[in-house]
Chains A and B, each alone.
Chain A
Amino acid sequence: MAKNTLSTARRGRRHPLATIALIVIGLVSTGGAYALFSSTASANTPASTTTATVDQGKKLFAANCATCHGVNAGGVAGVGPSLYGVGAASVDFQVSTGRMPLANQGVQAEQKPAQFTKDQISALATYVASLSPGPGIPDAKYLKGNGNLANGAELFRINCAMCHNVAGAGGALTQGKFAPTLSGVLPVHVYEAMVSGPQNMPVFNDKNLTPAQKADVITYLKYLDQNPSPGGIDLGNLGPVSEGLFIWIFGLGAIVGVTIWIAAKAN
């Protein structure tokens, strides 16, 4: 069954993919990641920018973020970075995953329940994006999880596995920082994380990974989420360490239990 979906997806998508790629190259080279480096005008700034949301966003920002990021989001030395050019994607990612507003100055801003409603987040994102262009909220067509699975898996192993582990189980970085697990992360956040590169994660701009390739990666992560390991319970996908602990504690434990029982019976 999975075979069929892939082959139809492939056949059906070959043309759209090419067109998408073309559009993407056209649009995104003027905006998106390009903007990150050259600060030219962005084509990705959401069309719905209205004065009302910008104002609402400005107020929310002043009340919740300005202490660290400055009144005009220009940054406060030693407290919070400037948000010029981070774009709506970064704000949406940081605020909807609850990383912002930052709760405490730890090694890494950690995920927590989001503190704002969808509308408020979008207002904040619109406001920050209105200050200076940056990567926008990703287009829904990249988030459906219908890209090329095999390609996405390979891209994931090459670009992401060294930090996030091949199965997306997460991994350690230096100085107490870590790459979190990717299971259950919404596709939109995966995309935004790639374009904005939160904290120690590198930015994967559209030259590094084209939007179509990002869609492939999202497809693979979605596949991992939706398909439990064919071998049974996956023990957290932590590889040989969890397998070793398991066999010592439960495997050998069970068998030693049996030996003790047999010997007790014999006596």
Chain B
Amino acid sequence: MTVSAPPAPSAPAVAPSRGSRFTGAAANYIDERTSISGLVKELGRKIFPDHWSFMLGEVALYSFVVILLSGTFLTFFFQPSMTEVVYNGSYVPLKGMQMSAAYSSTLNISFDIRGGLLFRQIHHWAALLFIAAIGLHMLRVYFTGAFRKPREINWVIGFVLFILAMAEGFTGYSLPDDLLSGNGLRIIDGLIKGIPVIGTWISYLLFGGEFPGTKVVAMFFSIHILLLPAILVAALGAHLLLMVINKHTQFAGPGRTNDNVVGVPILPIFAAKAGGFFFVVFGVIVLIASLFTINPIWTYGPYDPSPVSAGTQPDWYIGFADGALRLIPPGWEFVWLNHTWSFNIIVVILVLPIFLAAVAFYPFIEGWITGDKREHHIAQRPRNAPARTAIGAAGVTFYAVLWAAASSDLIATHFHVSIEGVIHVLQALVFLGPIIAYIVTKRVCIGLQKKDREIALHGFESGRIVRLPGGEYVEVHEQLSDYERWRLVSFDEYEPLMIRPNAQGRITTAQRTRAALSRWFFEDRIMPVTKTEIEQQHH
């Protein structure tokens, strides 16, 4: 299957040195007891395509490793308890204050344990980078159609990883029990209490009584360092395993087909490069962590339900949920059957899961609409799937508007506009933005496809003007090489599904919807250039 994996290096002709004899013996010893050589051979020959965007998942993986390492350090010193203590460490503005042991121990990590602040900052920055890298990796997979058969399941696992990462982030953010995280938890508490009927029960269960209670930090700690990481590592294992089994997708190019993968095999080159890349990621994180403050809990102060700071925001990945709450207009609460129905909250806890579910199940939705059952190993260029790219752009816009809404107050102060103005504009944009993004993206994709087609058939404008014998001026078009053209013309063609009667000779509503959706998906399309067209062009 793999075309360019170099043959395994054969035994050297010279007599082995002492060192290599030792390694050989050791390797043999291990192999005879674990039969690991088969696995290494298999894995070692896994091919990685060398487009940069294929490394985003790696960035996420490496930041996760950094998180694990720095997090382990933090667990040695953190006390997950909400017992009241009097702070007596070296941060003067908090000296003598009553606070929870969790907060006090986080202050100690920051000020009294050597390297503690650096580790805290590494851990937090790495967490932000981890989720950002996952986000970008998901966008890459989405926009190149790399989630199509046979990779749908891996997409879902990836999505689960994304959710787990957010949950990890949120529980971690809450652990120091500072004012900011307490306010964040208070919002979550409000969200939960807004759920009709069972909300209050759940809140009492979660916080062990009335918010904030005395249990939540200890519980979040177990979830944060044990439960979620265990699930995350398992899901990550499955994700990587499936990636090895399914192999990578690759962009179309000379010699790259649906049946091969072109790139470098893991061993030895890629492994070395990846090892180096791990240190690059680690290095960037440490550099940022040593130069830039993150989550200065000492200024936030210990959690106390009364003060709330201006500019209270969650970490970026929870921002979209905070923004959704901020965008709900006032007055969506009413009393019915002696109960308060908080639609300002109910709408948010309905809309966000629907949005997330659409992301999670997108491969199946698209598969159903297109009726495409083929296996795909060639990554699509986004322009060649205009409808999908446009849907993606609409989704990104929706998310971005919610995200912006979470920082509405900062937008207001920094651009000298009123916060109401910002909110109203964003309220309009949350509906209009995705529509505009959809239309514009689709047009742009089709425009680009037309240009590709034009270039594939007629070459590109060389800027050289020639005068013909008849006196006429023409611009010379440079023809593409076959290699270059291949990139432009090799993509799948699709057509809307036809409505077909089923076995009973009936046309079901499901089929009608499907056909309608399929028409919407594919009605505007540019056909790939065919061989005949190219040949005709050359005569």
Residues of A within 8 A of B (CB): 2-3, 5-6, 107, 149-150, 152-154, 157-158, 161-167, 169-176, 178-179, 220, 223-224, 229-235, 237-241, 243-248, 250-252, 254-256, 258-260, 262-264, 266-267
Given A166-B299, A251-B129, A263-B51, the answer on whether A232 and B293 have CB atoms closer than 8 Å is: yes
Interface flag for B424 (CB, 8 Å): no
Cβ of B180 and Cβ of A107 under 8 Å apart?
no
Size band of the interface chain B makes with A: 35 or more
Interface flag for B133 (CB, 8 Å): yes
Given A3-B90, A150-B92, the answer on whether A169 and B311 have CB atoms closer than 8 Å is: yes
Interface flag for B2 (CB, 8 Å): no
Q: A166-B179, A247-B128 are in contact. List 16 more A-B contacts (CB 8 A).
A: A2-B92, A3-B92, A150-B94, A162-B308, A172-B310, A176-B412, A178-B413, A229-B299, A231-B121, A231-B294, A233-B292, A239-B312, A241-B311, A251-B132, A252-B133, A266-B264
Q: B291, B298, B301, B416: which contacts A233 (Cβ < 8 A)? A: B291
Cβ of B93 and Cβ of A238 under 8 Å apart?
no
Residues on the A chain within 8 Å of B418, using CB: 107, 174-176
Residues on the B chain within 8 Å of A6, using CB: 92, 95
Residues on the A chain within 8 Å of B51, using CB: 263
Residues on the B chain within 8 Å of A178, using CB: 412-413
Cβ of A266 and Cβ of B50 under 8 Å apart?
yes
A170 to B285 CA separation, bound complex (whole angstroms): 29
Residues on the B chain within 8 Å of A264, using CB: 52
Given A165-B309, A231-B293, A263-B50, the answer on whether A240 and B301 have CB atoms closer than 8 Å is: no
Residues on the A chain within 8 Å of B299, using CB: 166-167, 224, 229, 237
Residues on the B chain within 8 Å of A154, using CB: 97, 301
Cβ of B93 and Cβ of A223 under 8 Å apart?
yes
> From A224, which residue of chain B is reached at the shortest CB distance?
B299
Residues on the B chain within 8 Å of A174, using CB: 418-420
Interface flag for B521 (CB, 8 Å): no
Cβ of B301 and Cβ of A243 under 8 Å apart?
no
Cβ of B128 and Cβ of A244 under 8 Å apart?
yes
Residues on the A chain within 8 Å of B55, using CB: 259, 262-263
Cβ of A230 and Cβ of B50 under 8 Å apart?
no
| Min distance, Cβ B362 to any Cβ of chain A, angstroms | 23
Given A158-B306, A174-B420, A231-B293, the answer on whether A247 and B316 have CB atoms closer than 8 Å is: yes
A165 to B314 CA separation, bound complex (whole angstroms): 15
Q: A229, A241, A248: which contacts B410 (Cβ < 8 A)? A: A241
| Min distance, Cβ A111 to any Cβ of chain B, angstroms | 13
Interface flag for B307 (CB, 8 Å): yes
26 cross-chain CB contacts under 8 A:
A2-B90, A149-B92, A153-B301, A162-B310, A163-B310, A165-B309, A166-B309, A169-B311, A170-B413, A173-B419, A178-B412, A178-B413, A224-B299, A231-B117, A231-B294, A231-B296, A232-B292, A233-B292, A239-B311, A240-B180, A240-B316, A241-B313, A241-B316, A243-B315, A255-B284, A259-B56
